[in-house]
Amino acid sequence: MTSRSIVFVHAHPDDEAIGTGATMARYAAEGAQVTLVTCTLGEEGEIHVPELSGLLAAEADQLGGYRIAELAAACQALGVSDHRFLGGAGRYRDSGMMGTEPNNHPRAFWGADLDEAAKHLVKVFEETRPQVLVTYDPNGFYGHPDHIQAHRVAMRACELAGDAAPQKVYWTAVPKSVMAAGLAEFAGSSDNPFAGVESVDDLPFGTPDEEIAARIEATAYGEQKLASLRAHATQIPPTSWLFTLAGGFGEEMMGVEYYTLAEGTKGPGVGPYGWESDLFAGVTLSG
Q: Which domains does the chain have, with CATH numbers?
A: 5-263 (3.40.50.10320)
d(CA 171, CA 176) in angstroms, rounded, equals 15
Whether pTM > 0.85 for this model: the answer is: yes
Q: Tally the C-alpha atoms within 13 A of residue 4's C-alpha that lie toward its C-beta.
A: 19
Q: Is the pLDDT of residue 287 over 60?
A: no
Read off φ and ψ for residue 86, nearest 5 degrees.
-60, 120
Q: What is the pLDDT of residues 151-193, one digit of tens each?
A: 999 999 999 999 999 999 999 999 999 888 877 777 766 565 6
What pLDDT shows up at residue 196? 73
Q: What is the pLDDT of residues 208-248, one digit of tens each?
A: 999 999 999 999 999 999 999 999 999 999 988 787 767 65
d(CA 8, CA 1) in angstroms, rounded, equals 22
How big is the CA angle at 153 (ends 152 and 154), to the nearest 5 degrees? Answer: 95
What pLDDT shows up at residue 119? 98
Split at pLDDT 50, 70, 90, the class of 275 is very high
Q: What is the rounded radius of gyration, in angstroms, for the C-alpha atoms of the chain?
A: 18
Is the sign of the CA dihedral 7, 8, 12, 15 positive or negative?
negative
* Beta-carbon contacts of residue 100 (< 8 Å; ≥ 6 apart): none
Q: Is the pLDDT of residue 111 over 50?
A: yes
* Contacts of the segment 73-76: beta carbons below 8 A, 24+ positions apart: 73/231, 74/13, 74/14, 74/16, 74/17, 74/21, 74/227, 74/228, 74/229, 74/231, 74/232, 75/16, 75/36, 75/228, 76/231
